[in-house]
């Protein structure tokens, strides 16, 4: 009997309704006006300063709801339930026509996005295969091919609702296509485990 085995898959956690609507609305009301930092990806994309969870009671409340899922997700990555802390949080405002270029997040192990407003069709977060090291030198890509998990270059996340959360390894490349709708507000964050131990070679991280 033939068997196809997916070697070394990349996990992505999607949690619908992770934050309650009252908290989502409060985050939008408080932080939308503070998103004044320019982003070089697009003139229609701005964000707040990088903030610590303790900088806002709203972030504290959000972090309390997100952290148990970080522990679960971290167990998939490292094989053990570790302590986790969110080291920075920020809010993005993507107006009509704005886009976010392909990027990943440095100096962290898990990154996340909480969607705070409805997302227009076509402006869902897109996750990409790493641009180097895994492809054949010659590609097979034409109108007859069917994209799948072993040959696709990208994966478009399902349309999120306000309060939905995604967690993913910080090295995973991702982007947002040009936004065809109204303002798209998200809260993003990076997280680190409190400690990693590789047979006695241990590193502790400060949040």
What domains appear along the chain, each with residue ranges and CATH number? 13-195 (2.60.120.620)
Asked if 92 and 46 count as a contact pair (C-beta separation under 8 A), the reply is: yes
pTM beyond 0.85: the answer is yes
Q: Are 22 and 69 a contacting pair, CB within 8 Å?
A: no
Rg (CA), the chain: 18
Q: List the one residue out of 35, 101, 81, 73 whose CA is nearest residue 166.
A: 73
* pLDDT value for 95: 95
Residue 137 is predicted with a pLDDT of 64
Assess contact for 70 and 84: CB atoms under 8 A: yes
As a whole number of Å, the end-to-end CA separation of the chain is: 50
* Cβ-Cβ contacts under 8 Å for 36 (sequence gap 6 or more): 46, 48
pLDDT of residue 202: 93
∠ CA 111-115-116, rounded to 5°: 130
Per-residue pLDDT in tens (0 to 9) along the chain, 207 residues: 999 998 889 999 999 999 999 999 999 999 999 999 988 778 899 999 999 999 999 999 999 999 999 999 999 999 999 999 999 999 999 999 999 999 999 999 999 999 999 999 999 999 998 876 655 667 778 899 998 988 888 999 999 999 999 999 999 999 999 999 999 999 999 999 999 999 999 999 876
């Amino acid at each position: 009997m033939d068997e196809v085995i997916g070697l070394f898959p990349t996990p992505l956690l999607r949690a619908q309704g992770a934050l309650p609507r009252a908290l989502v609305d409060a985050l939008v009301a408080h932080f939308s006006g503070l998103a004044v930092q320019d982003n070089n990806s697009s003139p229609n994309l701005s964000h707040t300063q990088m903030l610590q969870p303790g900088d806002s009671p709203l972030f504290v409340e959000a972090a309390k709801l997100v952290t148990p899922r970080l522990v679960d997700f971290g167990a998939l990555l490292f094989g053990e339930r570790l302590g986790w802390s969110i080291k920075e949080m920020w809010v993005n405002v993507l107006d009509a026509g704005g886009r976010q270029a392909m990027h990943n997040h440095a100096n962290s192990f898990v990154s996340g996005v909480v969607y705070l407003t409805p997302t227009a069709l076509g402006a869902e977060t897109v996750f990409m295969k790493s641009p180097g090291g895994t492809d054949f030198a010659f590609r097979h890509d034409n109108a007859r091919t069917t994209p799948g998990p072993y040959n696709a270059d990208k994966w478009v996340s399902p349309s999120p609702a306000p309060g939905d959360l995604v967690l993913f390894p910080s090295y995973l490349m991702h982007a947002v296509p040009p936004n065809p709708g109204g303002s798209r507000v998200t809260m993003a964050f990076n997280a680190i485990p409190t400690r990693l131990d590789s047979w006695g070679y241990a590193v502790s991280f400060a949040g």
